[in-house]
Amino acid sequence: MKKTILEAKNLCKSFANEGTQVHILNNIDLKLYEGDFTVVMGASGSGKSTLLYNISGMDKPSEGSVIFNDEDITGLSEKKLAKLRAFSFGFVFQQIHLVNNLTLLENTLVPGYMDKDKTKQQVQERADMLFEKMSLLDAKDRLPSQVSGGEAQRAAIARAVINEPAILFADEPTGALNRSNTGKVLDLMSMLNKEGQSILMVTHDIKAALRANRLIYIEDGKIGGEMELKPYFELTGFDMDSRFKVNDNEDKNSYQIREKEINKDELKDREAQVNSWLSSMNW
Amino acid sequence: MRDLNLIIKGNFRKNKAAYITVFILMFIVSVCFVTVLSVVNNTKKHNQKAMEDTGLGDMLIWCGEYNFENFEEAKTKFNEKLSDCNVISEAKAIDVIETYIPDINGTDYGNTVFIIDYKSEQVSYKIYDKDDNLVTSPHLNKGEIIVPISFKVLFDVNIGDTFAIGRGDDTLDVKIAYFFEDPYMGTYLMGIKTLLISDEDISYIKDNFGGYAYANSVLYSLKKSDSKMKDIEFEKRVNRDTNISAYAWITITKNECSTYMMMMVNIFSGILLGFIIMLVIIAIIVLGHNISNSIEKDYVNYGIYKAIGITNSKLKISIMCGYILTCIIGFIAGVPVAIPLIKVVNKILRPVGGTYVESKADMVSSTLAMLLILFFVGIYIMIKVARISRVTPVMALNDGRKNVHFSSILKLPVSKRFLNTSLAYRQLISRKKQYISAVIITAFLVVFMVLINQMLSWMSGGDAKIMTELFEPVAYNMVVSGEKSEDLEAKKDEINDLIANESEYKIIHATNQYVLLDDSKISCQIIDNPEAIGNIVKGRTCLYDNEILMTEYLSKELGVGIGDTVVVGDHEEKEDYIITGLTASGNDAGKSFIMNFDGYERLAKDVEWTWRVAYYVVKDEDKVDDIVELINGKYGDLGIKAEREDYDMGNNPISVAVKGISVVIYTLSAIFIMITVILVSGKMFEREKKDYGILKACGFDVGKLRSQFAVRFMIASFAGSLLGIIIALLSGEKIIEMIFSMFGVMHIDLVFGAPALIIPVCVVALMFYVFAYLVSRRIKKVSTRVLVVE
């Protein structure tokens, strides 16, 4: 039995547009489970990003509740929400949002330093560990404008998980990246998931969706369906340590070459399974 | 032209806030400029006209009967001499009574006063009632008196109050019936005062007062035959031809009176004008900031305009027209507000300046000043809008933004303990240019605040000693006076022994006498202990009987220096004296010199020194109060009184005015800081919106982000304050000397006290923090959704 870490009940979101109410989310009930890599898919305008921001406390739903740690977070004050974002939730966005006057490492350290229970050394050690895993050590002292999109997005992920959040929310994290960097970022997320990190990711990229062990399809603001998969890290040949130690000078096909390391048949089956399910959802 | 109109309208619509800010700034500048210029020019014109209206001349000479064996005979002789002097076109001899005011409202007034019959046809003064209305030929009853308006601040009296004139047992109680305008000596700053009473009271004084309480005097009023002749030349020529001043109590020229009468107005307006000019500079900096901000905001629009063929010059003209028009509207709007303000300032300055100046706006000089400002503003705008030429349509359409690449030696690591401050600091140094205006403006404001604070510290407390030293040859800390000089003389040794038991001390006897120095009547301070003189800036003290010390101001005016010989004369005696040193004294507006007792005895061989007052410099400052108590306890019954000199200027007009100016400076500083913060932050919000979203997503709450935002301004203000303090340290002495040169003080050893430096820094930093924190409420509205791409 999986443990529920967040639950949305009757979640509605609507906007007034020139006198008419536009309903983006319609009475959504959703549970997120500990250790799951949940991916929300749907067509453009289906409400998937709105769902992510409403259940993560980044936006206020028009109706309904979001229960986290036995508390409805929709009614929390700005201060409590800020605390939630600092220590319980992590965020990764489609555009790479790093503070441009801080180095990659500093971007990561800032939320870490907000945790008064941790010493400076503990925060720095965790940041170093994350940077090493993400192969960012060489770039850690560079400004966001001095690194590649992939490096910047990996740093953004490191920042999102520096305080070991209960859930990592990712909104199309590979949307602004090229193929090579997309692979690296997704590998990183799979690695985090393998280590127990719960993830909710919104995407319309099937390759990204393959990383999930739970897929949710959104259509017209409602949950159209969902499917379970075995965790990606359980695929034969998935060796995080060797896979992730990438060289930034590799050519753009490196991701494809590496993908070959995973059992081809298992991967194909998984892709077919997902495609078939998506077809059944009118994707 | 139509296209230009449309562009200007578009600019107005888009940058409303920027234009409103410029309007407010220019409105403030206009109000201040019109007020100050009008007050100064109105006072100048009014005083000149009022001097002419009195019927008095270019030089006034007071001669008392005590200087002559036969006063009537002397008057006749002088009348003849004056009529023979060909540089004089008209000489009037006005009968006056010289007497004293023992005490008014508890204020001991040490100066002689001159009383004139208010019906005198030789001199005509304008008389005013309680409500400052002009009264024509009022009736003055017996026992009533008309006093200069400056009595209001000198003695805190008003119409209906009574006081006594005379001395000892010979006094007459008089009631103030009216105030009058004395354009020659009415200012608060001049000790010599004229009072008007009825002929019956004049007869009463003559019949009933003894010689100890009054003296008959004559006031000679001389007019020049050649109006182009300088007053100093006229004075010297009259004295050379008639030697009248050698017998006079004091002489004064119209120009000197005019200088004294304008002194307070000039000083205060000088300080305010300096501050206003600084405000104009700040306004221009803010304007520049505004322009570059609006250009940045309108980058895309300029790209579009250029893409459709609008020329660079048209775009530049559109911006220039918009801002110049706003400045003009701001200036014009300031004038009606300045008019009531002129009234208020005149009302405040009236008892200080002593004249009833009209409260109308001096539009000619104000308009000229405004045109000059507009000229500079125009040039500055032209420089600022030049960057439009460098914008290519493609660059503009791409918004012209660049990535942040910065490397700075000022960079510090992000700290866990001081996370908010270190983040604020990083944000600050990564966009240093944004804060340049805040730094420059802070520097300017701090310079003025430091200077005004230093002046405030001179008005009371320990630093007030410095002010005293500027006007007295010796900074004493205790005064012992006796009602009768013989009593004080009799007990002097006993008192000195009593003081010596408590502390080491120096005793100084000093008096003031007007004597002729190179044919000009100049105030001479005669002192028995020249070694104690404290404010010598060059040379040495006057140790021998043929030596004098002179103020720097007088030395400059007479064109003499250390080692030069001057002729000093009194009555028929004339002797040569060598200048041995220069002092920085503001005594008699800097026109004074010092000699020792022996020196004066060369001129007045049979002089007998009798003292009613002795000045003490008690070495152990803490013992002064005990000594005062001892003396008063032991000799109080004999009319001997000891007092501590605490130097506190209390509520005297200089002190009040400096306090008033400081309020104006602090208030305007607050307004300018607020405007600076609004302008700078407007640009920052646009640029940093995403950063706030990121930091909110990372868990920073609004309070922390607002505090980070405000801290940046505070850090910038510290940088500006540091610059300001450096400027104040380097140039403060010169600026203060410039101000005090109007008092005749040419040299000041300025040592800034810690509070004078620290208070402005803290106040400015606090103002920046508070305003920035208030303005930063916009951060509340920034949602993390700015990071979301829909």
Task: Tell me the per-residue pLDDT of A247-264, one tens digit each, with 9 for 90 and over.
Answer: 555 444 444 445 557 788
Cβ of A78 within 8 Å of Cβ of B414? The answer is no
Mean pLDDT of A109-113: 89
Give the pLDDT of residue B392. 61
- Across the interface, of A79, A106, A145, the residue whose CB is closest to B414 is A106
Are B97 and B205 in contact, with CB atoms under 8 Å apart?
Answer: yes
3-class SS string, B694-714: HHHHCCCCHHHHHHHHHHHHH
Give the pLDDT of residue B358. 92
Cβ of B790 within 8 Å of Cβ of A82? The answer is no
Q: Which residues of A touch B406 (CB under 8 A)?
A: 101, 143
Lowest-confidence pick of A139-143, A266-270, B303-307: B303-307
- Across the interface, of B406, B780, B787, the residue whose CB is closest to A97 is B787
Residues of chain B with pLDDT under 50: none
Phi, psi dihedrals of residue A129, rounded to the nearest 5°: -60, -45
Burial class (CB in 10 A: 0-12, 13-18, 19+), B583: buried
Cα B364 from Cα B488, distance rounded (Å)? 60
Cβ of B787 within 8 Å of Cβ of A85? The answer is no
What confidence tier does A243 reach under pLDDT thresholds 50, 70, 90? very low
Are A260 and A204 in contact, with CB atoms under 8 Å apart?
Answer: no
Is the pLDDT at A27 greater than 70? The verdict is yes
**For chain A, how long is the longest CA-to-CA vector?**
56
Is the pLDDT at A83 greater than 60? The verdict is yes
Q: Computed over its alpha carbons, how large is the radius of gyration of chain B?
A: 33
Cα–Cα distances (Å) from A43 to A70, A148, A169, A204, A271, in that order, read 32, 29, 19, 7, 18
Cβ of B702 within 8 Å of Cβ of A145? The answer is no
What confidence tier does A241 reach under pLDDT thresholds 50, 70, 90? low
Q: Which residue has the tokens 């045109």?
A: B371
B416, B421, B690: best mutation site toward chain A, by most A Cβ within 10 Å? B416
Give the pLDDT of residue B140. 92
Give the pLDDT of residue B238. 93
Give the pLDDT of residue A240. 59
A167-171 and A4-17 beta bridge pairing: unpaired
Mean pLDDT of chain A: 85
In this predicted model, what pLDDT tens digit does every residue of B62-76 receive, in sequence order?
A: 998 888 888 888 889
Comparing alpha-carbon positions, the chain B residue that sits nearest to A106 is: B414
- DSSP letter at B107 equals B
Q: Please tell me the number of Cα atoms within 13 Å of B538 on its side-chain side.
A: 12
Give the pLDDT of residue A123. 92
Cβ of A82 within 8 Å of Cβ of B413? The answer is no
Cβ of A145 within 8 Å of Cβ of B405? The answer is yes
3-state secondary structure of B489: helix
Give the pLDDT of residue A253. 47
In this predicted model, what pLDDT tens digit does every residue of A143-181 receive, in sequence order?
A: 888 888 888 988 999 999 999 999 999 998 888 777 777
Non-local CB neighbours of A190 within 8 Å, separated by 6+ positions: A37, A211, A232, A233, A238, A240
Our CA-based measurement puts residue A227 at a distance from the nearest CA of chain B, in whole angstroms, of: 25
Give buried/exposed letters for B261-293 (b at 16+ CB in 10 A, else e).
bbbbbbbbbebbbbbbbbbbebbbbbbbbbbbb
Q: Which residues of A touch B788 (CB under 8 A)?
A: 49, 53, 58, 93-94, 171
Q: Please tell me the number of Cα atoms within 13 Å of A118 on its side-chain side.
A: 20
Q: Please tell me the number of Cα atoms within 13 Å of A34 on its side-chain side.
A: 9
Non-local CB neighbours of A136 within 8 Å, separated by 6+ positions: A104, A130, A151, A154, A155, A158
Cα B767 to chain centroid distance, Å, stands at 26
Q: Which residues of B touch A95 (CB under 8 A)?
A: 787, 789
Residue of higher predicted confidence among A100 and B375: B375
